[in-house]
Structure 1
Amino acid sequence: MKNFQEINTKQVLVLGGTGKTGRRVAEKLSQLGISVRIGSRSATPSFDWLDSSTWGTALEGMDAIYISYQPDLAVPGAVDVVSSLIESAKTAGILKYVLLSGRGEEEAQLTEQVLMNASVNYTIIRASWFNQNFSEGYLLDPIAGGYMTLPVGDVGEPFIDVDDIADIAVAAFTNTAHDGKLYEVTGPRLLTFKEAVQEIASATGRNIHYEQISSQDYQQMMRQYEVPEDAIGFISYLFEEVLDGRNAYITDDVFRALGRKAKDFSEFARETAASGVWEGELKEN
């Protein structure tokens, strides 16, 4: 069983390297002494998903690539863009591909098939809602403000921690045992969004109210906050379709990949509460 150093794969391009998963993948690889290049518009060299002329320089000299497509593989055109990126990466001599995919998203699974059929070494990590959506995403402000409204009720979601995702990605880059594997990752239990908010309230000792509203009211609220229409459409898709119960089951794929259990949401809530990020008064300073 060969490890990363034995297969001489020492340069990793991390696309979305400033995002929730990519930042952690980059940090963990760097801690192992592996050279990382961040793939983002603000990096040098820059990488822009919408400008393929930036791809060649970013790919040059790299041995492996972490693919996290922005904003999501479910958006129209994502399959074609990622397909083109994979072809460019093959031409550049990329040896290993790790793809962050989406659970319950037909478009994401079409992209998975493109990678599987590309005649390359790959690992696919299929995930849905992150724990960190509550602490690093657009759900942070409502939590800090003590009042969250969402168009979702009693559907259970097995929230996954992004550190588990990053650990699997790093394992895939450093051990060929993960080649050709698809890991559909989940947390260890199902929680509704209301239950997740209640766990955060308990961990912080704060009163955080959760209210379910209609999809139409939620869209109107986003428009009042001047959220772009394409973003509204994507968010509505996630709440109306992906959260229809299709992902309301857990897997043991974190254990299968790492030999340990996935982080529970309550542990995430305790650790994040201790950081103070959810404290309302902290947000105001």
Structure 2
Amino acid sequence: MDRLSCSRLAEVMSEHPILVTGATGKSGRRVVTQLRAKGLPVRAASRNGEHVLDWTDSATWDAALEGVRSMYIVQLDGTMLVRPFIERAVRHGVRRIVLASGRGIGIPDYAKDSSGILAGLVDSEAAVRESALEWTISRPGWFAQNFSEGFFADDILAGELRLPAGDGAASFVDAEDIAAVVVAALTEDRHVGQTYELSGPRGVTLAEAVATISEVTGREIRYVPLSAEGYVAELVQQGLPSADAEAFADVIEPLREGRDDYVSDGVQRALGRPPRTFAEFAKFTADACDWST
């Protein structure tokens, strides 16, 4: 595409709403905020948000796609709905897509897939690459925000994080960095055809993470490593179905084995700066009182 065409595409995109699916989620709502901070029109879509988009109800798709030229797709785990959604999007004139995928997709045996999420992610990536759209794929690792608004948040507030993660580490990535990469890919031409593996600047163990949060909040928080069996038993005792408890344990396995300890260069390549550290995330979150009880 020549420079004039790229310039015109940017102009056209600025005149149309940018569709953000999963707009109430960790990355989606930050993408919405950052796009609006740039003065760009956004269609914030989710099952229960500003604009209704229910992945399982294709009758909601057309209204979400009407007039859209670029979109951020956060798919529904365990489904293969991105491919038909892209086909519908092409008919509506969409030109650019940024797909939220997962780190480790290309690594054999990276994680157990008892919940059937991997097949959907693989198919979605293939559908994006095979489409006629300008595409970018975001592959973030463990979100730092899992400690403040996700998987680990309740335990952090309770003062004790109990997980079967041993002394394994992960290069936790700040969702603000993920959103910044997505916004860049939606609004700049140089990211077309790129797959960005996203991580923080170094691996952090759960013990280190909890100690950092304790320091910035002034609260005593403990990390208690469990066996996988003990973790499943605790979840079942709390009322979770056995299959769901085992699926949660499977999610933790790559962390325990250190498979997500490696550092990726996606944030640096996309934004021209290093990713935020876990300590920076923790201080920002504590200052925002997100760990207040």
TM over 0.5: yes
Per the TM alignment, residue 233 of structure 1 is displaced from its structure 2 partner at its CA by: 4.8
Partner of 1:86: 86
Partner of 1:126: 139
Q: Name the CA distance, whole Å, in 1 between partners of 2:30 and 2:38.
A: 13
Partner of 2:45: 39
The amino acid of 1:271's aligned partner reads F
TM-score scaled by length of structure 2: 0.86
Q: Could you say what secondary structure the match of 1:90 adopts?
A: helix
1:150 and 2:163 equivalent? yes
Tell me if the contact between 1:153 and 1:194 (Cα under 8 Å) persists in the aligned partners.
Answer: no
Per the TM alignment, residue 229 of structure 1 is displaced from its structure 2 partner at its CA by: 6.1
1:98 and 2:90 equivalent? no
1:207 and 2:211 equivalent? no
**What does 1:7-86 correspond to in 2, within 5 Å?**
7-9=11-13, 10-43=16-49, 45-70=51-76, 72=77, 75=78, 78=79, 80-86=80-86
1:171 and 2:148 equivalent? no
Per the TM alignment, residue 32 of structure 1 is displaced from its structure 2 partner at its CA by: 1.4
Q: Name the CA distance, whole Å, in 2 between partners of 1:110 and 1:233.
A: 24
User: What is the CA RMSD across the aligned residues, in angstroms?
Assistant: 2.1
Q: Could you say what secondary structure the match of 1:125 adopts?
A: strand
Q: Could you say what secondary structure the match of 2:64 adopts?
A: helix
1:258 and 2:271 equivalent? yes
Q: Name the CA distance, whole Å, in 2 between partners of 1:231 and 1:25.
A: 30
Q: Name the CA distance, whole Å, in 2 between partners of 1:192 and 1:44.
A: 37
Q: Could you say what secondary structure the match of 2:290 adopts?
A: coil
Q: Name the CA distance, whole Å, in 2 between partners of 1:248 and 1:45.
A: 37
Q: Name the CA distance, whole Å, in 2 between partners of 1:162 and 1:44.
A: 21
Per the TM alignment, residue 266 of structure 1 is displaced from its structure 2 partner at its CA by: 0.5
Q: Name the CA distance, whole Å, in 1 between partners of 2:225 and 2:168.
A: 12
Q: Name the CA distance, whole Å, in 1 between partners of 2:264 and 2:97.
A: 23
**128-137 vs 40-49, greater mean Cα deviation:** 40-49
Instruction: Return closer, same or farther for 1:112/1:244 CA change in 2, 3 Å cut-off.
Output: farther
Q: Name the CA distance, whole Å, in 2 between partners of 1:200 and 1:4.
A: 46
Partner of 2:114: none
Instruction: Return closer, same or farther for 1:146/1:50 CA change in 2, 3 Å cut-off.
Output: same
Q: Name the CA distance, whole Å, in 2 between partners of 1:269 and 1:43.
A: 28
Partner of 2:284: 271
Q: How many residues align?
A: 274
Per the TM alignment, residue 240 of structure 1 is displaced from its structure 2 partner at its CA by: 2.4
The amino acid of 2:103's aligned partner reads R
Tell me if the contact between 1:147 and 1:209 (Cα under 8 Å) persists in the aligned partners.
Answer: yes
1:189 and 2:174 equivalent? no
The amino acid of 1:6's aligned partner reads A
Instruction: Return closer, same or farther for 1:4/1:228 CA change in 2, 3 Å cut-off.
Output: farther
Tell me if the contact between 2:24 and 2:49 (Cα under 8 Å) persists in the aligned partners.
Answer: no
The amino acid of 1:86's aligned partner reads I
**225-234 vs 17-26, greater mean Cα deviation:** 225-234
Percent of matched pairs sharing the same residue: 39
Instruction: Return closer, same or farther for 1:178/1:271 CA change in 2, 3 Å cut-off.
Output: same
Per the TM alignment, residue 122 of structure 1 is displaced from its structure 2 partner at its CA by: 0.6
Q: Name the CA distance, whole Å, in 1 between partners of 2:243 and 2:42.
A: 32
**230-239 vs 23-32, greater mean Cα deviation:** 230-239
Instruction: Return closer, same or farther for 1:143/1:118 CA change in 2, 3 Å cut-off.
Output: same
Tell me if the contact between 2:83 and 2:123 (Cα under 8 Å) persists in the aligned partners.
Answer: no
The amino acid of 2:43's aligned partner reads R
Query: Per-residue CA shift, 1:202-224, capped at 9, x if unaligned?
Result: 22122111111122322233334
Per the TM alignment, residue 111 of structure 1 is displaced from its structure 2 partner at its CA by: 2.4
